[in-house]
Structure 1
Amino acid sequence: MEFPIAAFHSTYSYHRMAPQNRISLDPKDNGKDSSFLPESWTNKLWPSSSETDGSSFCPCPKGFMPKRYIVAVLACFGFMIQYGIRTNLGIAVVDMVNNHTLGDLQVPAPFHWSQITVGIIHGSFFWGFLLTKVLGGYLAVRFPANRVFGASVLCSACLHMLVPVAADLHYGVLIFIRILQGLSEGMTFPSSYGVLSKWAPPLERSRLTSIMVTGQYAGILFGMPLSGVVTEYAGWPYAFYMYGAFGITWSVIWALCVWESPAKDPTVSEEECLFIEKSLGEFYQGTNHQSTAQDTPWRDILTSPPVYAILVTDTAFKWTLYLLLTNSPSYYMQAFDMQVEASGLITGMPFLFLALCLPVAGSVGDWMRTKEVMTTTNVRRLFNTVGLSVEALCFLIIGCTNSPVASMTLLSVGMASAGLTLASGYNVNALDISPRYASIIMGLSGAIATFSGILCPIVVGTITYDKTAKQWGYVFIISAVILISSVVVYFFLASGETQPWSNPKPRPDDDDADEEDVFVKKSKIPEWMKKPKVPEWLRTAGDGKPSEPEPQDEAAAKDAGKKATDKLMAQPVVDDGSPIDWVDGSTNFVQIAPEDPYMYNTERDF
């Protein structure tokens, strides 16, 4: 469809224009009620749609990937690299503390660390990871989220390249590096939601989020075998150098290609930019508004039921995620006497199905909202309930089975169903209830869910002290109960509507604040001076008769003002331009023609 944006591109340089100087996207401002644009143009700029946010229409060029999808794909690769970094140490540490072969050579263990020391090295990552979850969300609101996201991956990659050197110095130095890595990576997930809050239209949030989140599980799926191959044939230090190089290269590409918002991106098309920002309503909320700690509605966030629904569900899902990440190989080895190689292969299968399910579930969820099959709230409830309930059912059956094939199949089905809730359930819900503060909400959620990663290994180790299949069954049954509990909480507390506290009131120094409000706030004019009340004895029509009372209706007031102006302009005037009535005093407001003021009847010399 022809889109006439180029016709006024030369007049309005859209990308370099301050938000308050751009053409408004509100039809009542300069659209169909304005003579600025022809009606045929405004019909294309503001097409009729059953969606209130207008996000079902996008005049993007066909045959080319829209920029918002490029942003999501690049974020996906960023997550792949970072989750590959997380899994890399677990693979490399085997050769770091044990005798191993490198090609045809027998290599002695370079480090003699105890199991407790190795456990502390692994756990130290979460010490830093926990601390910056909320901080990362706040920084993504306070500063451009794309920079926070890119800096997080870059710092983690650079620190990862220092691991071999740190390990050679002392394991205490390595623990310090791991803490710094956790501090860096803790900001990645919440800041990614800050990026999507500026780039994802409401009806495409599930799709774009699922593309981005797929990188996490693809990083786990491909990261483990890739690290194993590099460690076996090149040596364990090169696995760290490889992922560090990947992260640095990606950071450069991200910095060059991704901007804070469509309005600031010179490479995005005018059509896509208008579409995204109109659907998000950024022109009404102010794209240049940067929140501070005082602006953030902390009390409202911490007392919001929909926020608690997200927190509880995320904590429950992360329990099952960390269970599979850290204990799946041990489960297959202890319950079914499998070899390490076979258990490692089977462990990756559930994440493969999860990664495949995410984009499909995200597209279906967006389709249901676009076609108005369900409201956003009901779509989130449906996908969350079905996804986690099926996963819980699979875990219950696993707790009662003694077959490794059945267990592997049920775990794969369970994780695939979890893709429903990640793509169109709670994992996207923060963007629904508060696009502006989604990064803070997900940072808070991630911080609380991190305790699942800390507590899960402890609980599993306590229950499976005899390493029997029956004890492992108890672990999966407990996990199923946790999932069902979160489903109930989310169903009753969740919401898909934007919360009242999401959009803060504009400050007087905001560029997009109303000019009248700014004047009133800065000058502090008293209320009684804004609308002076005229006494009844002054309201006369010039003939001594009381005039009609002031109209209360705004339209009537405008009409009365127009009539008064027309009457005044129609009156004859004297030489000085004043109406005759002003001279003869037939009205209350008398203006006498000046008699040579300040000249004292002397002749002017100019």
Structure 2
Amino acid sequence: MATVVELSPTSEQSEFALGTPVNKKTPALKVPSLCSMRYGIAFVTHFCNFTLMAQNCTISITMVAMVNNTDHPPHLNSSTEQLPAGLNGDHHEASKHLSTKAPVYNWSPQTQGIIFSSVQYGMMLMQGPGGYLAGKIGTKKVVGIALLGSSLLTLCIPLAANLGLVFLLATRAVQGLMQGTGYGGQFALWQRWAPPNERSRLCSIAMSGMTLGVFTVLLVGGIISEALGWPFVFYIFGGTGVLCCLLWFILIYDDPVSHPWISGPEREYILSSLNQQFSSEEQPLPIKAMLKSLPLWSMCLCSMTHQWLVNTFIIYTPTYISSVFKVNIRDNGFLSSLPFFVAWVLGILGGQLADFLLSKNFRLVTVRKFITILGNTPSAALIAALPYVQSSYITTIIFLTLSCGICPLCQAGVYINALDIAPRYASLLMGTSRGLGHSSAVVVPIVAGFFLNQDSEFGWRNFFFVLFVVNLLGLIIYLMFGKADVQEWARERKLTRL
């Protein structure tokens, strides 16, 4: 007869769950950090996320060139401050020049919103299953195949657009399935590669690649569109993804034990700090307990509301700048990319800040919530204030930059909370929470399209106000119910024979 015996957490696990630093309990081995294999894994994953996000948001900057804006009434521009010389003088000439290099389509704001959101359905549906598949058959295979599929579909988007709107939406939807699998599948790496006292910084390095992808696309997308035509933006980043696949399959391994180039001391350091004794795949998922877990639901809801903010930046920063200041696509790309460069830097520093606070004896739950507040409230407040400062070009850009720059601090907060409350199921739960979060990416373009279509003067103000309320609600729920200790349903159990 088989019985289930619950194992008490080791002293090391207990201390981490309670929020005290684990440094004094981890093996006293001289292991390198930045030159180590685990940081190499983080940087390769950073490049993978860079590629996936670049492919996801290329259409955000190319939409300015793909759409015939002269067929639609412009949004009212109350700006009284003169734009810098050269930013708006050649807007119409640039539009004519772009139209001779590539096709231009007559898509309304609502149609554009549907195109923006089409890729998000697959991302929303596949991040949870992607995490589950990675736990079963390995992150290397799951993410590698997803990245290759997304890259090939990116190369096909110009052809799909020429064939018609239905073909474009279908291509983007399938691409979303691939990207969702890639995003969700990567989280299984950190169950096996990230020591508890380095989780924040390793995960922040990996996830900040998404921000760098947005920055790069917005920075060079306008230049490429103006010089070569908007289809080449898709060709270049699709080709980059194919090259990234080769790097992924060569350098990534699912765990330290199977990696051929990791040093012995580093392997022992990682395995000892994680105390990997039992395989989570051998035990059934406690689905009922998960569905009843308030800490888990609060984490998912906060991720979803914060993703509302993130996707607003990714999708609508170029459109907002074009709408308010009427700049050409090249300068629009530069202005739109600046906030994401700041976000990339602060996203990495946020992970360092979280681990630093843990080393100073702050409780883990306090650190997670504090970092989440920093990445949520100021960012949402600043973007809600944008319509009230659009008369000043400089103030608008400063607000946009600060708002977007602060936003990624949440990467070291609520987004990796699953590693704290249920480390054995982290890949599934992190993928699921990110998948639920991407439901906002489906809703955001629809809501924005509704407001902007109804009222060109106050559409942005109403849209940003809704964003602020949604973010505040998700944050309050997380502050009330969020936890950082291992939940009862996620504790280690061992089957024994009597």
User: What's the TM-score bracket when you normalise by the shorter of the two chains?
Assistant: 0.7 to 0.9
Q: Distance in 2 between matches of 1:94 and 1:51?
A: 50
**In the aligned structure 1, how far is the partner of 2:429 from the partner of 2:256?**
23
Q: 1:481 aligns with which of 459, 469, 473?
A: 469
Q: Deviation string for 1:293-334 (max 9, x for gaps)?
A: xx1222222221221121121111111122222233343444
CA spacing shift, 1:236–1:339, aligned 2, 3 Å: closer
In structure 2, give the amino acid aligned to 1:87.
C
Residue 290 of structure 1 aligns to which amino acid in structure 2? E
Q: Does 1:462 align with 2:468?
A: no
Q: Do the aligned partners of residues 386 and 369 (structure 1) sit closer, same or farther apart at CA in structure 2, a change above 3 Å counting?
A: same
Structure scoring higher RCO (CA < 8 A, sep ≥ 6) equals 2
Give the residue type in structure 1 aligned to 2:377.
S
Task: Give the Å deviation of 1:97.
Answer: 6.2
Cα distance in 2 for residues equivalent to 1:60 and 1:51: 16
Within-5 A mapping of 1:469-548:
470-503=458-491, 505-507=493-495, 517-518=496-497, 520=498
Structure 1 position 362, deviation (Å): 0.8
Q: Which residue of 1 aligns with 2:267?
A: 273
| 1:411 paired residue number | 400
Count matched residues.
455
Matched, 1:74 2:44: yes
Partner secondary structure for residue 290 of structure 1: helix
Q: Which amino acid aligns with 1:378?
A: T
- Deviation, structure 1 residue 347: 2.3
Cα displacement string for residues 539-573 of structure 1 (whole angstroms, at most 9, x for unaligned residues) = xxxxxxxxxxxxxxxxxxxxxxxxxxxxxxxxxxx
Report the CA distance between 1:117 and its aligned residue. 6.0
In structure 2, the partner of 1:421 is 410
Q: What is the SS of the residue equivalent to 2:489?
A: coil
**Cα 1:151–1:247 shift into 2, 3 Å:** same
Is residue 182 of structure 1 aligned with residue 176 of structure 2?
Answer: yes
Q: Find the partner of 2:370 among 372, 377, 382.
A: 382
Tell me, yes or no, if structure 1 residue 298 matches structure 2 residue 287. Answer: yes
Larger CA deviation: 376-385 vs 389-398: 389-398
Equivalent residue, structure 2, for 1:366: 355
| Contact residue 307 and residue 441 of structure 2 kept, 8 A | yes
The change in CA–CA distance for 1:482 and 1:57 in structure 2 (over 3 A counts) is farther
- On the 8 A contact 1:79/1:215 being kept in 2, the answer is yes
Q: Spell out, residue by residue over 1:10-41, the C-alpha distance to the aligned partner (whole angstroms, 9 max, x if none).
A: xxxxxxxxxxxxxxxx99xxxxxxxxxxxxxx
Q: What does residue 314 of structure 1 align with?
A: 303
Query: Given that residues 114 and 446 in structure 2 are in contact (C-alpha distance below 8 angstroms), is that contact kept between their aligned partners in structure 1?
Result: no
Change (3 A) 1:53 1:150: farther
Q: Tell me, yes or no, if the aligned pair for 2:57 and 2:315 is still in contact at 8 Å.
A: no
Please state how far the C-alpha of 1:420 moved relative to its aligned partner.
2.4
Give me the CA root mean square deviation.
Answer: 3.2
2: distance between equivalents of 1:173 and 1:74? 33
> Counterpart of 1:107?
100
Matched-pair contact (CA < 8 Å) for 1:133–1:190: yes
CA contact (8 A) 1:160 1:244 kept: yes
Contact 2:222 2:329 in 1 (8 A): no
Instruction: Compare 261-270 and 394-403 and name the one that shifted more.
Output: 394-403
Per-residue CA distance 1:490-520 (angstroms, 9 max, x = gap): 112111112222245345xxxxxxxxx34x3
Q: What are the Cα deviations for residues 465-504 of structure 1, in whole angstroms up to 9, with x where unaligned?
A: 3322x54333333322222222221112111112222245
Which letter does structure 1 place at the counterpart of 2:432? L
1:58-207 alignment, distance < 5 Å: 58-61=29-32, 65-92=35-62, 107=100, 110=103, 114-115=107-108, 120-167=114-161, 169-207=163-201
The answer to whether the aligner puts 1:221 opposite 2:215 as a matched pair is yes
Q: From 322, 327, 330, give the equivalent of 2:316.
A: 327
| Distance in 2 separating the partners of 1:357 and 1:260 | 28
Kindly state the Cα deviation for residue 74 of structure 1 after the two structures are TM-superposed. Answer: 0.3
Q: Would the aligned equivalents of 1:159 and 1:181 in 2 still touch at CA under 8 Å?
A: yes
Which ranges in structure 1 are unaligned for 5 or more consecutive residues?
A: 1-25, 28-48, 508-516, 521-606
CA 56–304 in structure 1, closer or farther in 2 if over 3 Å, else same: farther
Give, as a single letter, the amino acid of the residue that structure 1 aligns with 2:100: V
* Change beyond 3 A, Cα 1:226–1:350: closer
1 or 2, which has the higher helix percentage? 2
Deviations 1:190-218 (A, max 9, x none): 22211111111111111011111111011
CA separation of 1:89/1:59 partners in 2, compared to 1, >3 Å: closer, same or farther?
Answer: same
Q: Give the letter aligned to residue 237 of structure 2.
A: Y
Residues 432 and 111 of structure 1: CA distance in aligned 2, closer, same or farther (over 3 Å): same
In 2, are the aligned partners of 1:335 and 1:472 still within 8 Å (CA)? no
Partner of 2:25: 54
- Shift in Å, 1:109: 5.1
Q: Residue 160 of structure 1: CA displacement?
A: 1.9
Report % sequence identity.
26
Asked if the contact 1:146–1:195 (Cα under 8 Å) also holds between the matched residues in 2, the reply is: no
With normalisation by structure 2, the TM-score equals: 0.82
- For residues 226-247 of structure 1, what are the alpha-carbon distances to aligned partners after superposition, in whole Å with 9 as ceiling and x for unaligned? 3333344444444333222221
2:440 match: 452
Q: Could you tell me which residue of structure 2 aligns to residue 255 of structure 1?
A: 249
The separation in 1 between residues aligned to 2:216 and 2:222, in whole angstroms, is 10
| Alpha-carbon distance, 1:336 to partner | 5.2
Per-residue CA deviations over 1:79-131 (Å, capped at 9, x if unaligned) read 11111112223444565666999999983754756446655444332232222
Structure index of larger Rg: 1
Instruction: Give the Cα separation in 1 of the matches to 2:99 and 2:159.
Output: 22
Distance 2:325 2:238 in 1: 37
Q: Any idea what SS the aligned residue of 2:488 has?
A: coil
Contact map agreement 1:193 1:431 (CA 8 A) in 2 = no
8 Å contact kept, 1:83–1:223: no
Q: Which amino acid aligns with 1:435?
A: P
